[in-house]
Structure 1
């Protein structure tokens, strides 16, 4: 039998060209999302919206994605993550008011404040699971809420913290004015950074461990893994992302109040994550878009806009138990 003629090995370029279309197809949704976000200021006014609403959607989406690292991927239901959102907001406001006018330094300081507090409290919170974990997180969140109310000399109490605002960012060769448009692109940059961190974590062995904890914590314990340690890491990472979103929210409003620390706002973040899809990476962003846009429109029609949000949430749970993105993904997989 004649041996087959040897073939020349494929070059690296040929492998790259063979893999490139599938890679582009796999990330097509992310590419489209990036183009939509970057071009949003050019078309928002045609759909009756504006830059600040788009900024709010991204901020709430980033906060819900941070919470979802713990909720959807690790399996821990927290009703206290508003504490880290609010700490990030107060951190930014206090730094801008008393220390520096550099927005980036203030944003870094607020993120570190909320994230480090989450990291310190995480080992305490993750000692329990289920409803007991949720109750611990509520207690921790309400503790910071009442501190913000009582410490009026620093936080402004019920009236909230004022006296700070966004300032132009100065870079070598150009200035970045943080008006409505400039701030929107700052939010886009921070959102992209937070989403990239979450993507890297969830696609790493650490992220796979988080999912394993959600699926079967007892089995991991029997295998000898320190489950509480990994759950605490997930809690802390989610706290950093939520604190970053809180700092951006304070910059958007040039104001923050104890309401950003209250458990009711934690409930809003849970609703956003569930509405969009907890098991889908971009689900919380979709949930944030629905939540913010419906709230913005419904509040102009009725003071009882929360009933509209509640009705949408109930219908979503009944007909789309995996969330909007979960439903779409299941339909795509079924084809």
Structure 2
């Protein structure tokens, strides 16, 4: 009964998201577009962290790679938008495969520090290689002339771009959910809980970690490909270590043990930031205090704590 109620709430939430442009001002369309994109970014990170137990501090490298790929293809090649998404996923996945191959040999803090090092290397290249990336100014001035697949969509319309983002994020989230519920996903959870036992079963832990790392990079690149047209620019800041901290906060805030936790965390993060910046310039101080309190008192994340309370209510 309780699970049916939760499923009903989820379906209502999806219906409200679909209908958002028809009842909400443009301001909220922009806000929820950002939430969807950052939610996908956080979910892709959570496959590595929440499911496999690897804390990466360089996840923004693949996010930024996706943004740069889309921006450059739109600016220089006039590709249909949908094809730039696939290109962004491919190049981000390739970058994640190379970096992951070198990082998954290590574990815990050594893995985290090595991902941070590689992430900052990618950021430095993007910041310094002015002939290709335009340095700190980033790549701007690109336009989406057509969506592709024979669809005539006015992507420049915020409501249309919101619906495109909603569909792309929905498909990507469904694929990641299927992966997390598959036998592959179960093995990732087992690796997180006890890698030694998994190794004794004859499974190659490094291969599974590398696969998880690469898949996370692919979908982070997809999120980056969506953020570039939204921001109208692809800049090195999208690859900075501080950007890598955002999916960490969102995943922990929402609940790393629940698939939808990072989406909830992304919504709370963006809405809190928007609300706090409306009345103070010292928004980072207040946002930090609020986030610290929520992490301290919601040990399983906001979604995880609520679901535990709901399922145990009146039992």
TM score, norm. by length of structure 1: 0.89
Partner residue in 1 for 2:152: 175
Unaligned runs of 5+ in 2: none
What is the rounded CA distance, in whole Å, between the counterparts of 2:187 and 2:218 in structure 1? 19
Partner residue of 2:180 out of 181, 202, 208: 202
Distance 1:151 1:306 in 2: 31
Counterpart contact for 1:100–1:106, Cα < 8 Å: no
The separation in 2 between residues aligned to 1:266 and 1:163, in whole angstroms, is: 26
Instruction: Return the alpha-carbon distance in structure 2 between the equivalents of residues 113 and 242 of structure 1.
Output: 11
Deviations 1:32-88 (A, max 9, x none): 23212101122333xx94211110000000100000011111111111000000000
Quote the Cα distance in structure 2 between the aligned partners of 1:275 and 1:69. 15
| Distance in 1 of aligned mates of 2:188 and 2:82 | 31
SS in 2 for 1:175: coil
- Tell me, in whole angstroms, the C-alpha distance in 2 between the residues paired with 1:163 and 1:92: 12
Q: Deviations over 1:184-218 (max 9, x none)?
A: 01100111111111111011100000110111111
In the alignment, which of 52, 56, 73 is matched to residue 78 of structure 1? 56
Alignment partners' CA distance in 1, 2:276 and 2:234: 23
User: Structure 2 vs 1, CA of residues 136 and 29 (structure 1 numbering), >3 Å: closer, same or farther?
Assistant: farther
1:18 maps to which residue? none
Q: Does 2:16 correspond to 1:36?
A: yes
Q: Which residues of 2 match residues 48-67 of structure 1 at below 5 A?
A: 49-67=27-45
Q: For residue 9 of structure 1, what is the aligned residue in structure 2?
A: none
Which segment is superposed worse, 71-80 or 301-310?
A: 301-310
Equivalent in 157, 167, 174 of residue 189 of structure 1: 167
CA contact (8 A) 2:82 2:148 kept: no
Q: Is the 8 A contact 1:58 1:187 kept in 2?
A: yes
Match of 1:8 in 2: none
| Aligned position for 2:228 | 250
Structure 1 counterpart of 2:286, from 286, 303, 308: 308
TM-score w.r.t. structure 2 length?
0.94
CA contact (8 A) 2:2 2:311 kept: no
Could you report, residue by residue, the CA deviation over 1:101-147 in whole angstroms, capped at 9, with x for unpaired residues?
41111122112111221122212111111111100110111011000
Distance 2:290 2:2 in 1: 36
Does structure 1 residue 110 correspond to structure 2 residue 88? yes
User: C-alpha separation between the residues in 2 aligned to 1:76 and 1:91?
Assistant: 26
Alpha carbons 2:81, 2:148 under 8 Å: kept: no
Higher alpha-carbon Rg: 1
Provide the rounded CA distance (Å) in 1 between the counterparts of 2:126 and 2:149.
35
Deviation, 1:25, is 5.4
Cα RMSD (Å): 1.8
